[in-house]
Structure 1
Amino acid sequence: MAAGCAGGTGLSRRRLLSGAAGMAIPLLASPLLATPRLARAEAPVRARDLLGREVALPRPARRVVLGQGRHLAVLNLLHPDPASLVVAWSEDMRRGEAREYAKYRQRFPALDQLPNLGQNLGGASLEMILAARPDLVLLSRRNLMALGEAGAQGLLRSLETAGIPAAVIDFFIAPLRDTEPSLETLGTLIGREAQAQALLAFHRGRMQAVRTVLAGAASRPSVFMHVHAGGTDCCYSPGRGVFDDLIQAAGGRNIGAETLPAETGQLNLEAVLARNPDVYVATGGPFGGRGGVSLGVGVEAAAARASLEEVIRRQNLGSLPAVQGGRAHALWHGFNDSPTHVIAVEAMARWFHPQAAAALDPAASQAVLNERFATVPMEGTYWTDMA
């Protein structure tokens, strides 16, 4: 598959560890090869986080506290055994992405035994964090916002006093701004610089491809993104930031950003109908099987499409001209906190600009991520269209 080779050699980690005849090559085949690798694993590392703070470790982190549980999915793209790094975490992945978590748990059963720090560290205490004996605490901008300015500064000071390095990374609040520096910081701090640089090259290449095909687009279609469609009252929508950034990158204009000052909020159904958006995009996954759109790991394409059609019918959105005109689609909600959002941007660009962006191939991007980066692959249906 030629498209799957973009952004790198296309060779998998499994093939790189095998010989021409298919025989396994030991990772530590000779002292000449092993010594530099071991030296790098023990060498001090330094990085700068999103707050501009320098974070220094005596060696790459091996015991990590995740303030944002969903960052396990980012570690999954950088490390061959991501769960082995985590010694405590927030519960947002377990609560919000049940299907995805079940797949990770199947691969790494010890995840169920990790200390639970609550939602956005809401159930954590400094004593709980210290009890996990971390050599790095990873925080997100969402963690800091949830704690408030005084609480966030207090936590950072307390960790510093205790001699525990902390770094702020984020893939959610402003993904177009924060994703690449966050990957660089994370890759350095866990000793996976080469993998992080490969992922950065892939991410940059795919995003540049979108910018290139949309360079001549005459206009930006208006988009209504229906967040957690069917799982909540109609009609929640992204405001500014988060999915709004991705909609803009895909060449669309988010109608929610014009009236909602926060990251998300509720739009009146009548107002949505009056705005008559050019394209309808639902997000699904967390409420799949509970009234929402079913998307994500293990979901069959036919079930995803049927669930989207049912949500549109049940929430009285069938009269939208975008729906009647075949411009109704759905995306996996989990794209909003991971570098895998490149898949969402490519899919939306094709929906918003079907002629200009026809050459984009989100399925090929998913295949490359699975083959070259992911330890736990994305296997299921992560976007769909109304029949």
Structure 2
Amino acid sequence: MFLRPLIAAAVLALAGTAQADVTATDILGRQVSLPEPAHRIVLGEGRHLSVLGLMHDDPVALVAGWRLDKPLDPPTMAAYRQKFPAIDAIRSVGAGNRDLSVEAVIALDPDLVVLTLIDEKDPAMTVARQQLEAAGIPVAYVDFFSHPQENTVPSLRILGALTGAEDRAESFIRFYQERLDRVRQRLADPAIPRPRVFMHVHAAPVNCCSTVGPGVFHDFVTTAGGQNIGAEAVKGVLGNVSLEWLIGADPDFYIATGGAHMRARGGLVLGPQVDAEEAQTSFDALTSAPGFASLRAVQTGHAAGVWHLFNDSPIHIVLIEYLAKTFHPDLFGDVDPMDTMQQIEAKFSPVAVPGAWWVTPQK
């Protein structure tokens, strides 16, 4: 006589479990709820497919559409295409700078749209988000770019929760946090000198010099135990100074960023499918150019080049290790950034692309 109520209670419990929402609080503090883990996602930035790849064996299967103003770099795209041919079925929902077609998104019938902190500051994107939510499409904000040290771990947890990959997300977070904590702990003593660092982004020997204010590379430099002197002249995320300003500032370290996109501009070439010889040749051309060659940092061997697209991805932990070892070799002699990169590729990423990620003066 007691069996029937027990069965009824079990049925109700199962029903409640089936109806339970998947929830997460996004980077803006907004609660996002889904009836089940997302499996038709629209990415506001195409390059964030590789972030999903840190927690899913087949991230392509989860993505219905993406905006292409910040796409995967061509070699990484080719590696994904080789392993996941279905990537060509992902539809574009916008190609221009911060362009997003609400109609194209709605037509894909997604269960989640992922936007970024940069989108939140764009009034047009605020309107687009309101239109998407009015159509019943949940929107979550993440950030791996504007404030990477503050927002990377929460953003990984957001994506892990909303795509049913909490365990995988936590596994990468532990890997990331252990390395970040090691850097911070070794630099915790305020008596440790912080060298003055100039970040020359998208570096070329002409039209000098783009550099960074607060956020992004500034965060990487300060976490690695340096002072970003670009913030003295640039108040926004990105700005320009003259070569004369740079020479007068006389930084202790000169760090240039580059990529395959700089090849046509005669600049620093680094990244996937770039060989070490091309990277070194482009770096030598940059640092031997008039003005740059006279920098004390160049003359003393305190110059280096790094891949620009370490930004906007959790793999920036590799860059932080590299910078910390460059600025403080006595504290980080046992740290191997290349080993960290290889472990990420072997343990977490579904694809691996060889390349040259940094370059230093030849001895």
Q: Is the 8 A contact 1:90 1:121 kept in 2?
A: no
Q: 1:185 to 1:232 in 2, by over 3 A?
A: farther
Aligned with residue 296 of structure 2, among 321, 341, 344: 321
- How far does the alpha carbon of each residue in 1:232-286 deviate from its partner, in whole angstroms, 9 at most, with x for none? 7211001111110010000000111111010011111011001110001111114
Structure 1 segments unaligned to the other structure (5+ residues): 1-39
Which residue of structure 2 lines up, in the alignment, with residue 60 of structure 1?
37
Which residue of structure 2 lines up, in the alignment, with residue 177 of structure 1?
150
SS of alignment partner, residue 337 of structure 1: coil
Which residue of structure 2 lines up, in the alignment, with residue 370 of structure 1?
345
CA positional deviation for 1:311: 2.0
Tell me, in whole angstroms, the C-alpha distance in 1 between the residues paired with 2:338 and 2:101: 42
CA positional deviation for 1:301: 2.0
Q: 1:315 to 1:202 in 2, by over 3 A?
A: farther
CA positional deviation for 1:361: 1.4
Is 1:241 matched up with 2:241? Answer: no
SS of alignment partner, residue 350 of structure 2: coil
Q: Is the 8 A contact 1:210 1:360 kept in 2?
A: no
Quote the sequence identity (%).
Answer: 42
- How far does the alpha carbon of each residue in 1:161-184 deviate from its partner, in whole angstroms, 9 at most, with x for none? 211111000100000111010000
Q: Which moved more, 1:244-253 or 1:110-119?
A: 110-119
Which residue of structure 1 lines up, in the alignment, with residue 281 of structure 2?
306
Taking structure 2 as the reference length, the TM-score comes to: 0.89
CA positional deviation for 1:381: 1.5
Is 1:385 matched up with 2:357? Answer: no
Q: Is the 8 A contact 2:69 2:97 kept in 1?
A: no
Q: Is the 8 A contact 1:278 1:322 kept in 2?
A: yes
Which residue of structure 1 lines up, in the alignment, with residue 12 of structure 2?
none
The one-letter amino acid of 1:47's match is: A
Is 1:280 matched up with 2:254? Answer: yes
Is 1:339 matched up with 2:339? Answer: no
Q: 1:243 to 1:350 in 2, by over 3 A?
A: same
Taking structure 1 as the reference length, the TM-score comes to: 0.84
Aligned with residue 263 of structure 2, among 265, 289, 298: 289
The one-letter amino acid of 1:228's match is: H
Q: 1:124 to 1:355 in 2, by over 3 A?
A: same
Tell me, in whole angstroms, the C-alpha distance in 2 between the residues paired with 1:110 and 1:232: 41
Q: 1:199 to 1:104 in 2, by over 3 A?
A: same
Count of residue pairs brought into register by the alignment? 344
- How far does the alpha carbon of each residue in 1:10-66 deviate from its partner, in whole angstroms, 9 at most, with x for none? xxxxxxxxxxxxxxxxxxxxxxxxxxxxxx999631111011111111111100000
Q: Is the 8 A contact 1:221 1:252 kept in 2?
A: yes
SS of alignment partner, residue 198 of structure 1: helix
SS of alignment partner, residue 87 of structure 1: strand
Any residues of structure 2 matched to 1:25-174 within 5 Å, and which? Answer: 44-94=21-71, 97-119=73-95, 122-145=98-121, 148-149=122-123, 151-174=124-147
The one-letter amino acid of 2:101's match is: S
Which residue of structure 1 lines up, in the alignment, with residue 202 of structure 2?
228
Tell me, in whole angstroms, the C-alpha distance in 1 between the residues paired with 2:205 and 2:347: 34
- How far does the alpha carbon of each residue in 1:181-231 deviate from its partner, in whole angstroms, 9 at most, with x for none? 000000011111111000111111000111122234521000111101118
Structure 2 segments unaligned to the other structure (5+ residues): 1-16
Using CA pairs below 8 Å that are at least 6 residues apart, which structure has the higher relative contact order?
1
CA positional deviation for 1:120: 6.4
Which residue of structure 2 lines up, in the alignment, with residue 4 of structure 1?
none
The structure whose Rg is larger is 2
The one-letter amino acid of 2:227's match is: R
RMSD: 2.0
Q: Is the 8 A contact 2:119 2:126 kept in 1?
A: no
CA positional deviation for 1:288: 4.2
Q: Is the 8 A contact 1:70 1:93 kept in 2?
A: yes
CA positional deviation for 1:86: 1.1
Q: Is the 8 A contact 2:324 2:332 kept in 1?
A: yes
SS of alignment partner, residue 334 of structure 2: coil
CA positional deviation for 1:72: 1.1
Which residue of structure 2 lines up, in the alignment, with residue 35 of structure 1?
none
Q: 1:286 to 1:140 in 2, by over 3 A?
A: farther
Q: Is the 8 A contact 2:273 2:353 kept in 1?
A: no
